[in-house]
Structure 1
Amino acid sequence: MHRAISCILLALAAASGTACASDLGVAPVVVQLDPHNQRTALTVTNRGADPVVMQAEAVQWRRDASADVDLPTADLLVNPSVFTVPPGQSQLVRVGLRRAVSSDREETYRIVLREVPQPPRPGEVRQGGQVQVLMAMRVPVYVAPPTVVRTLHWRAMQAGDGSIDVSVQNGGNVHARVRSLQLRSAHGSAIAPEQAAVAVVFPGESRSFRVADAARAGAHPMTLEVTTDQGAQLVPVAARAHR
């Protein structure tokens, strides 16, 4: 499915005014590589009316205090690195590993696709205060180790305000994608609306969430149904400790 991952506004002048962004899409939106599958390709599609010049580069994707950090890398080959996509057409961008997979833990990268600013077309007049909107798309690239281990440790506890504090620790060697949290009664019925909790948890990383609107459950036993890309599981909700 074609869709833009993110959009960056680049102000080419300090005053107000906006030029329309390009209509771009990329597929797939996630790349998975492993020792037996070390190459793939992205398709960048221009759904707009004008040609678009794009720059593609690979970066190492790290997490520092729950914040995403992009670092330079030479581990991935991206070809072509600069290309023009005519209106209504697509460009194939090949991605491949430059070296064999040797780590026992998943390695994470991103392919960053940036629109290159272009000079005005013949006859086009840009006002001095106009801002040009440029598209940037980031595609995650996950490189799995030879042996994959998937282990998630969940905890859920009632908080004083009636909500539920939830934490997950990834004890495996590949990422996990959290999709939703659903609070249920001891009989399995939904207590609160399903809560989207889209997040990527790297190997060795911990993440926290909060489920609101749980006060109506009172003191009855509760479970939390957590759904990830590894499936669904039920987590007991511990009662709040009273002092």
Structure 2
Amino acid sequence: MNAVVRRASGPLLAAMAVLAAGTATAGMFSVTPVRIYMNARERAVAVTIVNDGDSDVVLQADLNSWTQTADGTDQLAPTDDLILAPPIIKIPPKARQVVRLALLTPPDLSRQLTYRVVVREVPEARPQPPAEGLRTPIALALSLPVFITPPGARRQVECTPVRTEANAPALSCRNNGNAYAQLRDAQLTRDDRPLARFEGGTYILPGATKLIALKTDTAVPSGQARLSLTFDDGQGSTTSVALP
């Protein structure tokens, strides 16, 4: 999977990509992997950054703990649990550099630890063409999720059909487990006919509940239906539910 973050104009702007797997590209640099897994025994992992451009690129990383409120809102806070070496990365054109992301705190054996590493370009270090009027440097960033997972940690997701204020169908999904869940696909069907669907990718961290809007072309009547869920690892479930 390749994801692209394009340059934007206007006030200082950070373009953030939340990605599932593969390589992420911002401007002319790429990062692999874009989702980082470590088990309880690992203390460090390698991250490869490639500069595909024709000039030097200077990057720095912000290390954050990642939690969600009870309603599923993401919260990031600077953390000293992780360290990236080196913290400032300068890569010549058409070159690559391997950096090390290390965990400094002991892993939690009762639950998964979740972080986000925000790798961003330092725009002031980028060669600039001759100025024609006032220009504002633009910072581009990639947000990489990091999961430190102890043995036996599992998601446990329960989704219940609800209605929004506009009477549109939605799902209220809660993760009662001790590891993240990323819902990739959800389908409501009745008598093998599609009623509503979610496609994309949304994270639900342990203890959080998210309201997930469903797409539909017609009004969805109340009654019994089948709910099929698919997660990022390809596993899923199908259950009978009641539409309000």
Deviation for aligned residue 1:148: 1.2
Aligned to 2:92: 86
Tell me, in whole angstroms, the C-alpha distance in 2 between the residues paired with 1:219 and 1:67. 29
Q: Does 1:52 align with 2:57?
A: yes
Q: Is the 8 A contact 1:32 1:141 kept in 2?
A: yes
Tell me, in whole angstroms, the C-alpha distance in 2 between the residues paired with 1:161 and 1:45. 46
Equivalent in 75, 92, 99 of residue 105 of structure 2: 99
Task: Look up the equivalent residue of 1:110 and give its one-letter code.
Answer: R
Task: Look up the equivalent residue of 1:51 and give its one-letter code.
Answer: D
Task: Look up the equivalent residue of 1:203 and give its one-letter code.
Answer: P
**What secondary structure is seen at the aligned counterpart in 2 of 1:131?**
coil
**What secondary structure is seen at the aligned counterpart in 2 of 1:174?**
coil
Q: Is the 8 A contact 1:176 1:202 kept in 2?
A: yes
Deviation for aligned residue 1:55: 0.9
**What secondary structure is seen at the aligned counterpart in 2 of 1:77?**
strand
Q: Report the count of equivalent residues.
A: 229
Tell me, in whole angstroms, the C-alpha distance in 2 between the residues paired with 1:126 and 1:50. 18
Aligned to 2:209: 206
Distance 1:132 1:184, change over 3 A: same
Gaps of 5+ in 2: 13-25
Q: Which has the larger radius of gyration?
A: 1
Runs of 4+ in 1 over 6 A off after TM superposition: 5-10, 158-162
Q: Is the 8 A contact 1:108 1:142 kept in 2?
A: yes
Q: Is the 8 A contact 1:6 1:138 kept in 2?
A: no
Deviation for aligned residue 1:22: 3.1
Q: Is the 8 A contact 1:3 1:24 kept in 2?
A: no
Deviation for aligned residue 1:125: 1.5
**What secondary structure is seen at the aligned counterpart in 1 of 2:42?**
coil
Distance 1:56 1:216, change over 3 A: closer
**What secondary structure is seen at the aligned counterpart in 2 of 1:132?**
coil
Deviation for aligned residue 1:10: 7.5
TM-score (norm 1): 0.80
Task: Look up the equivalent residue of 1:207 and give its one-letter code.
Answer: K
Q: Does 1:37 align with 2:37?
A: no
Q: Deviations over 1:38-84 (max 9, x none)?
A: 32111112222211111123211122353322212111121110011
Aligned to 1:225: 228
Aligned to 1:130: 135
Tell me, in whole angstroms, the C-alpha distance in 2 between the residues paired with 1:158 and 1:63. 23
Task: Look up the equivalent residue of 2:155 and give its one-letter code.
Answer: R
Tell me, in whole angstroms, the C-alpha distance in 2 between the residues paired with 1:97 and 1:5. 28
Distance 1:150 1:99, change over 3 A: same
Deviation for aligned residue 1:175: 0.4
CA RMSD of aligned residues (A): 2.9
Greater mean alpha carbon deviation, residues 58-67 or residues 29-38: 58-67
Deviation for aligned residue 1:108: 0.9
